[in-house]
């Protein structure tokens, strides 16, 4: 079977921790795939906030997700604490790639070594007033140069 391959870059720009909530659990008694996508979205919002932006206002333009890939490596369960590392790479004129590494932590916040998933989203910068793609803001690139986890 052919699988999606996501390779996380060497340098992370941001890390945050999110807990798996009871509403995130599916009938298999583990984190549902739809909830993983929601948690990835939450981590991305927190990343933008950490550098002074929101998904709908990055120096006057917003963002849209052009595609998403998730490669699951382990199950995760109710109460698990997960660290979401985010790296931004492959910046082109109007888009970039966000990479995500999701790792289970123990209760003290130390890494258990359990890689839960790797993911990637293609983020296109978007002018909502004009309803068309926009150039990646220079300020966003400058903020990336300043941050690393």
Please give the pLDDT value at position 142. Answer: 95
Does residue 8 fall inside a structural domain? no
Quote the number of domains for the chain.
1
Does residue 95 fall inside a structural domain? yes
Spell out the alpha helix ranges (H) of the chain.
Answer: 33-50, 138-146
Q: Is the pTM of this model over 0.85?
A: yes
* CB count in 10 Å sphere of residue 138: 9
pLDDT (tens, 9 = 90+) of the chain, 149 residues, equals 788 899 999 999 999 999 999 999 999 999 999 999 999 999 999 999 999 999 999 999 999 999 999 999 999 999 999 999 999 999 999 999 999 999 999 876 666 679 999 999 999 999 999 999 999 999 999 999 998 65
Contact 105, 42 (CB under 8 A): no
CATH number for the domain that contains residue 76: 3.10.129.10
Residue 51's domain comprises 14-146
Does residue 1 fall inside a structural domain? no
Round to whole Å and give the CA distance between 119 and 83: 13
4-10-16 Cα angle (round to 5): 85
Please give the pLDDT value at position 44. Answer: 98
Does residue 91 fall inside a structural domain? yes
């Amino acid at each position: 079977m052919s699988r999606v391959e996501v390779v996380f870059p060497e340098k992370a720009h941001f890390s945050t921790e999110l807990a798996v909530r009871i509403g995130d659990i599916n009938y298999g008694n583990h984190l549902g795939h739809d909830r993983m996508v929601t948690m990835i979205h939450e981590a991305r919002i927190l990343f933008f906030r950490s550098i002074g932006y929101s998904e709908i206002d990055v120096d006057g333009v917003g963002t849209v997700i052009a595609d998403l890939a998730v490669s699951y490596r382990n199950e995760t369960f109710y109460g698990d604490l997960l660290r979401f590392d985010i790296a931004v790479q492959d910046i082109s004129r109007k888009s970039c790639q966000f990479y995500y590494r999701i790792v289970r932590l123990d209760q003290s916040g130390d890494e258990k070594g359990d890689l839960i998933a790797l993911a990637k989203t293609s983020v296109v910068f978007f002018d909502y007033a004009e309803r068309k793609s926009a150039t990646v803001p220079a300020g966003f690139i400058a903020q990336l140069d300043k941050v690393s986890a």
